[in-house]
Amino acid sequence: MKKNMGSADKIIRFVLAIIFVALYFTGTVTGTLGIVLLVLAGVFVLTSLVSFCPLYAPFGLKTCKTSVE
């Protein structure tokens, strides 16, 4: 897997994950939507840690800086 996520993208995803978890555990969002947000938060954290977004790959998107060779 080649990296396709830049620093800003990783930080935004991580912050969103924290917000989603906080909304769920404070009871602001419950039920099915709460579960969906928790799963999405997990995906955001995982993709932030590995710097790879599988949805970017088919479209050829990259938010990371490319090295000039």
Taking only the tens place, the pLDDT of each residue in 31-43 is: 999 999 999 999 9
In-domain check, residue 58: no
| Residue 14 and residue 48 in contact, taking contact as beta carbons nearer than 8 Å | yes
In-domain check, residue 68: no
In-domain check, residue 32: yes
Residues 22-65 have pLDDT tens digits of 999 999 999 999 999 999 999 999 999 999 999 988 888 888 88
In-domain check, residue 60: no
Per-residue DSSP letter, 58: G
Range of the domain at 24: 7-52
The model's pTM: 0.84
In-domain check, residue 57: no
In-domain check, residue 69: no
Longest dimension (CA), the chain: 51
In-domain check, residue 20: yes
Mean pLDDT of 6-16: 94
